[in-house]
Amino acid sequence: MSKQIEQFQELLGKDVKLDEPLAKYTTFKIGGQAKYFFIAQSNEDLVRVITFAKKLKIPFYILGNGSNVLVSDQGFNGLMILNKASDIIFGKDNKVVADAGVMLVDLINKIIDQGLTGLEWGIGIPGTIGGCVRGNAGAYGGQISDNLIGVEIMKGGKQFVLKNEQCKFGYRESAFKHNNDLIISAEFQLQKGDKKQSLAKIKDILKTRNEKLPEFPSAGSVFKNVMINSENEDIVKKLINLPAEYQERKKIPAAWLIESLDLKGYKIGGAQISDKHANFIVNIGKATANDVLQLISYIKMKVRDKLGVQLLEEIEYVGF
């Protein structure tokens, strides 16, 4: 056993697993082994393990529900932390604080039980609060930053709170995608709601999602939708049969671009562009990360060469 492993297990006990397969922890069901693997059951666990990792100069990555990521076939040569910290605290004035490890769907259900409203749009998104804040997750006209007051983070060994405007939120973007700040929890401002109306709303959203989304393992939306701006409006004007509603909203769904090239169903190895939703790549059986990577490259090439549009990934690459 190496000195590093001995030190790590001395600091954290036998809870540190070695060479843990990661496929079972991702919604893609793809990924090699993590050199080290640790489940953080609380924020205290999370802060402690990261402090030790930094002390021993071990690279680390925090995994929530494993959606929105593609883990390399070679795995992750460092510490993979599965964040299970799951406290939800309701405060005054319709505010709530949720740990980064809380599943968004669990938070939504508890909010509705409290007679509050504001996050129903997120029902069905298979992510944790930490992941949703990091990627400013959104759907059906809402996004996580709309109701967010602030984010508790750890930076340089110290914990403090960033206000919404300090997080630099954008379309599927935040400052956390470009720094090493650790998201510990997030506080949201909600409104008084009607439980029956909220339940009816999430029922409708789930029905729509189930009709559109594939049944095979996937990471969620692969590409960001394309925002229409001054830099690409000339290219957009050349797109044939672009629905007027997309032009009005200044946003073109990546799925529409991919589907317009008749790419639904195209596959490489065990990875396939979903027949149900063109912005989903699904694992139809024994897909490798390399299969997915090749398919992503193929889609980007086709859309760029045929339509002149450069697609950008929404999913995150881990271990590449």
Q: How far is CA 200 from CA 121, 145, 211, 212, in A?
A: 12, 23, 17, 19
CATH 3.30.43.10 fits 3-83, yes or no: yes
Topology match between the domains 88-196 and 215-318:
no
pLDDT in tens, 222-276: 999 999 888 888 888 888 888 989 988 899 999 999 999 999 999 999 999 999 9
pLDDT in tens, 188-224: 999 999 999 999 999 999 999 888 888 899 999 999 9
**Per-residue confidence (pLDDT) for residue 56, from 0 to 100:** 86
**Per-residue confidence (pLDDT) for residue 2, from 0 to 100:** 66
Residue 274 near residue 216 (C-beta atoms within 8 A): yes
Residue 296 CA to residue 311 CA, distance in Å, equals 10
The alpha carbon of residue 86 and the mean position of all alpha carbons in its chain are separated, in whole angstroms, by 17
In the predicted structure, residue 55 carries a pLDDT above the cut 90: no
Locate the domains of the chain by residue range. Answer: 3-83, 88-196, 215-318
**% pLDDT > 90, the chain:** 80
Residue 200 CA to residue 112 CA, distance in Å, equals 11
Residue 305 banded pLDDT, cuts 50, 70, 90: very high
221 part of the active site: yes
Query: Where does 88-196 sit in CATH, by number?
Result: 3.30.465.10
In the predicted structure, residue 1 carries a pLDDT above the cut 70: no
172 part of the active site: yes
Residue 94 banded pLDDT, cuts 50, 70, 90: very high
Residue 252 near residue 246 (C-beta atoms within 8 A): yes
314 part of the active site: yes
Query: Where does 215-318 sit in CATH, by number?
Result: 3.90.78.10
Q: Give the active site residue among 20, 152, 187, 314.
A: 314
Q: Give the active site residue among 72, 198, 218, 221.
A: 221
Helix (H, G, I), strand (E, B) or coil at 196: helix
**Per-residue confidence (pLDDT) for residue 201, from 0 to 100:** 96
Q: Give the active site residue among 120, 172, 185, 187.
A: 172
Q: Note the pTM of the prediction, 2 decimals.
A: 0.89
pLDDT in tens, 6-48: 776 777 767 889 999 999 999 999 999 999 999 999 999 999 8
Residue length of the chain: 320
